[in-house]
Structure 1
Amino acid sequence: MNADADALRTVKDADRKHVFHSWSAQELIDPLAVAGAEGSYFWDYEGNRYLDFSSALVYTNIGYQHPKVAAAIAEQAGRLCTVAPGFAVDVRSEAARLIAERTPGDLDRIFFTNAGAEAVENAVRMARLHTGRPKVMSAYRSYHGATSTAINLTGDARRFGNDSATAGVVHFWGPFPYRSPFYSGSEAEECERALRHLEDTVVFEGPQSIAAIILETVGGAPGVLVPPAGYLAGVREICDRHGIVFILDEVMVGFGRTGTWFAAEHWGVTPDLLCFAKGVTSGYVPLGGVAISSAIAETFARRTYPGGLTYSGHVLACAAAVATINVMEEEGVVEQSARTGTELLGPGLRALAERHPSVGEVRGLGTFWALELVRDAATREPLVPYNASGAANAPMAAFGAALKKGGLWPLLAGNRIHVAPPCTIAAEDVAKGLAILDEALAVTDAHMS
């Protein structure tokens, strides 16, 4: 047995015996053993190389193994590996400064967490304490994390096995022109009706009881749902009128993913609290946080904020954040993401839709896109049912297998493929990925009614 085969067996055996995987029935999975990664690619122990169109879980915004970020983590480890969160330390202060300089409006104070779900948990806590109100409103088509409050806020099917119905959450329908819950005939009509529905929900829940409305700026896990023009501004106005805190969850879309530092910039809207994670370090070391407005920060100027984390603002994570942000600035990564979307991914994916009848809709921004796959283009019947599994999900499983066989690692969700390569992906790799997609879509076309 060669060294790679021996290493593969060792890794797989230990994984099977000791690792408990998330969102999985443990005996029904067979995780790929990854041997290494660089740029937009990773590879296994058998020599198979994959173009990563998922950016891991939509976080390797600068690609894998950027040497400057890896060196910054190593340098920080050699100087100071850790220090308690209550101290002022140079790298933490610098990370906070760099983030605050890029957030919209007056979101100038940064509370660090370890990940996105903790950012959501703390943003909701801040909103409730700031307003003295219990309820939080979130959209049905949403994902906000898997911790207690965050999973109750989540609107998609991952909530079902965790929903305690005790988190004071009220769900509502957000805009989705392709599958409008409001029977709209245009994006403008969808925006108007969605805002009216939200206003009605606020009124019937009692505005005086609502602490916050939380939205993903662009809905990530639910299908790269780009809000129609005017919708976020309308939500901002509803919040202002009723004294409700407006929270934007930018965990997936922050730090260049949509072609701006934060997706809110596309619509000129500033929330009261902004949650971030993932791209802030390109996932090299876990880090998340909440960017806080001056009004909410003032609430806790002389009142203790009752929350904290042992590893809040961990220095290795902050070193990764500083290096990642500097790399993005120096190398024009945000601008590259915007160009890739406008010049390559957008036109390329729309061309695929013209050739493949199973592609019902293409939507996205920057390096964040989705193809909505259907059985019938006229009725828009999804390729697989909502929350499908087993035999019901066979068409998507076959599609995913075809993509992997072609050398592309996909991000599949429901009846969609999300196209989210690193923001730094080269033009030739975009073309390669689109060619693999083109060939694999023959599988989904075969399932058309």
Structure 2
Amino acid sequence: MAEPTSTEARPTRAYVIHPDLGQARTQRRLPEHALAEAVALAHALPGTEIVGQEVARLRDPNPRTLLGKGKLAEIGQRLEEAEAELVLVDGPVTPVQQRNLEKEWGVKLLDRTGLILEIFADRARTREGVLQVELAALSYQRTRLVRAWTHLERQRGGLGFVGGPGETQIEADRRAIDDQMTRLRRQLERVVKTRTLHRAARARVPYPIVALVGYTNAGKSTLFNRLTGARVMAKDMLFATLDPTMRAIRLPDAGGGASGRRIILSDTVGFISDLPPELVAAFRATLEEVLEADLILHVRDISHPETEEQAADVADILESLGVDEDVELIEVWNKIDALSADTRAALRRTDSRTEGVQAVSALTGEGLDDLIAAMDAHLARALDETRETATVRLGFGDGSKRAWLHEAGVVEQEETGEDGLVLRLRWTPRQKAGFEALDTPEE
């Protein structure tokens, strides 16, 4: 293999540490599995090369350096031997601890929040995603102005209208960050207003929404691509998808044709345990499609050793988002191709007996016909339970509205009168709102 040229950037040599707090840690995960997830996160950070990893068992975290004196020296030796330039700590690190560790080891350090922010900053593509990442990053930086910058301890004079006499540099920097956050929030409000208009336009489309949710790297984008024929980025990497993607598709009918129910399928950002609070707030808007969904597909990596723990994390986040418990939900046990033949067969038998569970491989297509049939059945139940009857009168010139109603499949009877058409309908609240939105001019 050719040697890197002098113009090519050399990857940053990173060392990953998962602090295990023993009884104080969250009991949901084993430290070894948590370390594996942290390493996967590190691999998702562009331009890094993992040169070492370990679980650091801590009895009592040191408030100044996180680690005890012996462990500090021990890891420092390993960092020197590995020629590490970056340390990634899978957990919260206070500004004081970060400053002291960087000084002790002579490397740059990122905690879990900083690492995820770096990944999101690299992956965000939409205007809203970029603004949300910038806002979250500023919120994070604001709490860390105590880092190793000695100039922050100095005072400066002023003319009163620029931070008055004796204002410390740290106060000036904090004020500058607050001003920038205010500007970003205003920009974000304008973008969110645009998204509201887009949602109003989507309301005119009389199709149910099916949202894919799940732990990051569970295979949501692969399943999305398989169902839609789209080419959304799908890699064996955490947070491969950040910005929501939506496609209108027609589910195959029982005979394998394409004349079945039409739906809007939405791919969403992957969930993860201990998501930084800054990002929970910042990315709430990207999950609005989940709140509007008629059916949720909870995609699980059933081959993962901690699939149950991941599922519990997803359930917690859905609850925190305020997702209605009555919304139809299917658990999609994905990646059965990674299991043994016996285990795969057992799972397929289980899903045939368990309501709301489908075992599939989005990669190979195994089980997708059964999943599509289950989606159709769940949507039929969800939509039928909310349907109500109505009578609508249309003029002879309202051809587009008539076509909309027939496309939605809500017309039960149509009669021609002297002044126009009389249609007896059976529709859902969403379809009713979509029909009424036809009279609202698009901005």
The bucket for the TM-score relative to the shorter chain is under 0.3
Higher relative contact order (CA 8 A, sep 6+): 1
Larger Rg, first or second structure (1 or 2): 2
State the TM-score, normalizing by the size of structure 2: 0.23
State the TM-score, normalizing by the size of structure 1: 0.23
